[in-house]
Amino acid sequence: MAERIATKSENIILDVKGMKKYFPIQKGLLRQVVGYVKAVDDVSFFLRQGETLGLVGESGCGKTTVSRTIIRLYEPTAGTAYFQTSLFSADGKPEMVNIFDLDKEQMKRIRREVAMIFQDPINSLNPRMSIFDIVSEPMVIHGVSAGPEMEETVVTLLERVGLRKEHIRRYPHEFSGGQRQRIGIARALSMNPKIIFCDEPVSALDVSIQAQTLNLLQDLQADFDLSYVFVAHDLSVVQHISNRVAVMYVGKIAELAYSDALYNDPLHPYTEALMSAVPKPDPKYQSERLIMQGDVADPSNPPPGCYFHPRCRYAVDKCRTETPEFRELKPEHFVACHRAEELKLKGV
């Protein structure tokens, strides 16, 4: 598995270390802070140029918060996120810049290079703006283009994502869900970004449209050398599109590895249970279902030790008291579990 070359380059373009995002819980008239929801709690990962990193987990595990915090839609509580850019260097050479240290003006500039695609193609497009306005808005804001030249760019973008020239004056309600998602993708591409954060881009789409959209994302990645952070809850979609996958549980990364390694030889019991829970589209598939009991832990009041221990079938005393360290057990295979070495877990 290790010899497989899954990414085109070793060039790390985003390096996140120890990122935390706590949301305060306020109570009473004086809005006193009585606790914190630890939505993202000490998350570290990196992203290489041209690769796709999948982020999976159940709802409320913090996968969306991770992507929103990196582009500072939320202010981070702690940590660093180094991003490779030449926007601020004097000699035009790319350098690593900590996104969390930038001021408002610099942040605006860096947003050219990081774009986002949202889950809900209906609510993420302004119904009062025509497709031309929506797709060209980033170019207007950054003042990079105007007039007929901008219109030409918009048409090129629309055609690139599989829409037609005559769509340019129409409004979002005139399009189907799959087409709206394409408009969202065209908007994300308009500033020529380096990284696109895709937040559940296909979960609102039908199967046949989902396949078209996933293929489009892969084609665009190859054409423009894009890097994706792909957030989704559908494990099969994430495996399909990602080079590497991070499994999150209650604000922490439980396991991170190349997608084949993660799906075939998981090292974390949560990954194993999650895989076994996915209904397989094969009526002859017989396998013992590992049903996780109970619900996801409450991020404002997580259990002591390993957050997963109340639902884990392999939990021992150590798991109930000590927080496991996120470590590299095999090359490029990170896991946060005390018993990762001894357990023989089953993949799919």
Partner 1 sequence: MSEPLLEIKDVRVEFEVRDGIIRAVDGVSYTVNRGETIGVIGESGCGKSITAKAAMQMLPKPGKITQGEILYYRRDKFDPSRPTQLVNITKLDPDGELIRQIRGGEFAMIFQEPMSSLTPVYTTGTLISEALFLHRKIPVTVGDQMSQKIMQYRPVTKEEAREISIEMLQKVGIPKPHERVDAYPHQLSGGQRQRVMIAIALSCQPFMLIADEPTTALDVSIEAQILDLMRELQESVDMSIMFITHNLGVVAEMAKEIVVMYMGKQVESAETVSLFYEPKHPYTRALLQAIPKIGRRSGERLASIKGMVPDPFHLPPGCVFHPRCPSFMPGKCDRIVPTWKEAEPGHWVRCLLYEDV
Residue ranges that bind partner 1, judged by CB under 8 A:
6, 58-59, 176, 178-179, 206-212, 214-215, 218, 233, 235-237, 239-243, 259-260, 263-264, 273-285, 289, 291-296, 347-348
Q: How far is the CB of 231 from partner 1 (least distance, A)?
A: 14
Q: How far is the CB of 269 from partner 1 (least distance, A)?
A: 12
Report residue 178 as tokens: 């799959």
Give the distance between the most distant pair of CA atoms in the chain.
68
Instruction: Report the residue number, 115 or 235, with the smaller CB distance to partner 1.
Output: 235
Instruction: Report the residue number, 134 or 261, with the smaller CB distance to partner 1.
Output: 261
* Backbone phi and psi for residue 19, each to the nearest 5 degrees, phi listed first: -75, 135
Instruction: Report the residue number, 6 or 329, with the smaller CB distance to partner 1.
Output: 6
Instruction: Report the residue number, 143 or 279, with the smaller CB distance to partner 1.
Output: 279
Q: How far is the CB of 253 from partner 1 (least distance, A)?
A: 17
Q: How far is the CB of 215 from partner 1 (least distance, A)?
A: 6
Q: How far is the CB of 318 from partner 1 (least distance, A)?
A: 24
Instruction: Report the residue number, 82 or 270, with the smaller CB distance to partner 1.
Output: 270
Instruction: Single out the residue of 303, 274, 308, 305 nearest to residue 291, CA to CA.
Output: 274
Instruction: Report the residue number, 159 or 295, with the smaller CB distance to partner 1.
Output: 295
Q: How far is the CB of 291 from partner 1 (least distance, A)?
A: 6
